[in-house]
Amino acid sequence: MDKSRDHELILRCRRGDRQALGELIKEYERPIYNAAFRILGNRDDAADVTQTVFMKVFERIDQYNPEYKFFSWIYRIAINESINQRNRSKNEESYEDEHHSLESNPEDHIDADRLSDVIQAGLMQLQEDYRVVVVLRHFSEMSYHDISGILSIPEKTVKSRLYSARQLMKAQLAALGEM
Amino acid sequence: MLNERIIDLIQADVDGELDDHDRAELSGELLQSQEARKFRDDMIRINELMASIPSLDPPVGLQSKISSAIKLPKRVQFSIRSSRWLKFASHGPATYGLSLAAGLLMGIGLTQVSPREAQDLSAVVGTMMSQPESQRGSAGEKLSVSLDYVQGSIKRSYRDQAIALEFDLKSEEPVEVTIDLSGTGMRFGGFADQDSASAVEKFEVSNGKVHLLNSGNQQYVVFLRDEPKGTTHLRDIGISLSQHGASIYQGLLESKE
């Protein structure tokens, strides 16, 4: 996420350069899709949110202030859209449709796919504001400062939410024999 | 029971946000507290588990679906209100490889014709930074622009019977350039874009003024020719720059040889 490169691509997009648009989508499609999926727990919803995020970004591209990081701006839109989507669909059930049951013997071997499901199930058990900071920190690899900026909350709040979320994740992972 | 400070230090450590001073403090705490060591090990384990989850591939075709759903602005918006400006330069400007007809209509494309209100320079409020350099002959006069958001120069030179205004500006945000020819005895004669990587976003000639909107590296030449009825230049050429509707620069270039 190179700030100056993002800025250059945006300027080119503003001038109607579709190649720059393609480069910008290519750069952010995957991270936005993954962040949305980790918040929503549903691939179809994550794809819809990803598309909506880019649509909103380019509807407002003239409002983008280059003094701020583009990735902070697009992530903020992505988080808001994911939460809106979650509220709209109330899709806790749809997550369970996609994944295996987690009721199993903790002594069973947990392979990578199952671990992924376990982590995702754990995330979905977290309250939304905890889940968002975990996603931004662990899956989007944001710093405390970036998370603070994206969510418009103090860094101290970022840390305390991370602590609470991790304690809950720890308890869930321990129940499955992973801690 | 770990206190908040130790928890913060341990979290910052596993998240790679600990500075050297705090690291030294944490090392001391870890030596003394088994509970702190256990908490740190747990945090590291959670981080490892999270990091072991591979990122997901977005659905095939999502990228093109998004791209096709987004409408970008037209590459160039071009409008001319007064037909008398449509006589383009021919001889002098050709040395730059492009005339307006070739440069805009062929190279960039006529995409939009729309009326637009011309600016009134007398109403513009801003900082005047005219820095004329007496450079007669081919060099002409020059304005230097050194602002926070726009840097570069505008140089006047002579090409055969035409005056060439050579723009070399850099700005991240779009800059609207207005060339005021009213009262100068000159008319718009042609345009040549010298930087193929950038495209003029908007170009308009109206009421004796030329308006261009561009951003990034802006290297282009605007050619001016004498009005047919006379060659006596009554006024100098007004150059003004604005961003987001606000005037940021105003200067004059001599129009007489």
Q: Are strands B142-146 and B150-159 parallel, antiparallel or unpaired?
A: antiparallel
Residue B76, helix vs strand vs coil: coil
Which residues in chain A are closer than 8 Å to B74, comparing Cβ atoms?
16
* Residues from chain A contacting residue B69 (CB–CB below 8 Å): 51, 54-55
Q: Output the six-digit token pair for A125.
A: 């058990």
Please list, in sequence order, all residues whose beta carbon lies within 8 angstroms of the beta carbon of residue B13, skipping any fewer than 6 positions away: B23, B26, B40
Reference B218, options B159, B172, B157; nearest CA is B172
- The 8-class DSSP code of residue B91 comes to S
Establish if A18 touches chain B: CB-CB under 8 angstroms: yes
- pLDDT higher than threshold 80 for residue A166: yes
Nearest residue, CB atoms, B46 vs list A25, A143, A169: A169
Give the model's confidence band at A66: pLDDT under 50 very low, under 70 low, under 90 confident, else very high.
Answer: confident
Query: What is the rounded distance in angstroms from the CA atom of residue B25 to the CA atom of residue B15?
Result: 16
The mean pLDDT of A25-44, rounded to a whole number, is 96
Say if strands B209-226 and B246-253 run parallel, antiparallel, or are unpaired: unpaired
Residue of A14, A159, A179 with shortest CB distance to B73: A14
Mean pLDDT of chain B: 74
Structure tokens at B186: 């000159």
Contacts of A162 in chain B (CB under 8 A): 11, 15
Contacts with A173 from chain B: Cβ below 8 Å? 46, 49
> Considering only A136-150, B96-110, B156-170, which range has the smallest mean pLDDT?
B96-110
3-state DSSP call for residue B145?
strand
pLDDT digits (tens, 9 = 90+) for A123-148: 999 999 999 999 999 999 999 999 99
Q: Which of A156-160, B202-206, B230-234 has the highest mean pLDDT?
A: A156-160
pLDDT band per the 50, 70, 90 thresholds, residue A48: very high
Give this complex's ipTM: 0.85
Q: Which residue of A lies nearest to B67 if distances are taken between CA atoms?
A: A22
The vertex-B215 CA angle with B115 and B148, nearest 5°, equals 120
Residue of B nearest to A37 (CA): B56
Q: What are the tens digits of pLDDT across the range A101-120? A: 444 455 554 577 788 888 99
Give CA angle at A157 (A126, A143), nearest 5°. 90
The nearest alpha carbon in chain A to B73 belongs to A16
Q: What is the mean pLDDT of residues B172-201?
A: 81
pLDDT tier at B138 (50, 70, 90 boundaries)? very low
- Enumerate the residues of chain A whose CB falls inside 8 A of the CB of residue B70: 21, 54-55, 58
List the single best residue of B5, B17, B38, B49 to mutate versus A (max A Cβ within 10 A): B49
Q: What average pLDDT does range B67-83 have in this prediction?
A: 63
The alpha-carbon gap from B72 to the nearest alpha carbon of chain A, in Å, equals 5
Greater pLDDT, B230 or A58:
A58
CB B215 within 8 A of CB A12: no
Query: Hey, which residues 63-122 in chain A have their CB within 8 Å of chain B?
Result: 66, 112, 115-116, 119
Q: How many residue pairs from chains A and B have C-beta atoms closer than 8 A? A: 115
Mean pLDDT for B159-164 is 80
Question: Residue B189: its pLDDT value, please?
Answer: 85
A75, pLDDT greater than 70: yes
Report which of residues B29 and B119 the model is more confident about: B29
pLDDT band at A5 (very low <50, low <70, confident <90, very high): confident
At A99 the three-state DSSP class reads coil
pLDDT of residue B230: 62
Residue pair B124/B240 in contact by the 8 Å Cβ criterion: yes
A15 at B interface, C-beta within 8 A: yes
Q: Do A55 and B66 touch (CB under 8 A)?
A: yes
Query: Is the model's pLDDT at B141 over the cut of 90?
Result: no
**Is A163–B45 a contact, with Cβ atoms under 8 angstroms apart?**
no
Task: Write out chain B residues lying below 8 Å of A16, CB-based.
Answer: 72-76, 199, 201
Q: Residue A129: what pLDDT?
A: 95
Residue pLDDT, tens place only, B2-14: 899 999 999 999 9
Find the CB nearest A119 among B50, B67, B73. Answer: B50
Q: Which residues contact B171 (CB under 8 A, 6 or more apart)?
A: B149, B150, B151, B215, B216, B218, B243
3-class DSSP assignment, residue B217: strand
> What's the whole-model pTM score?
0.59
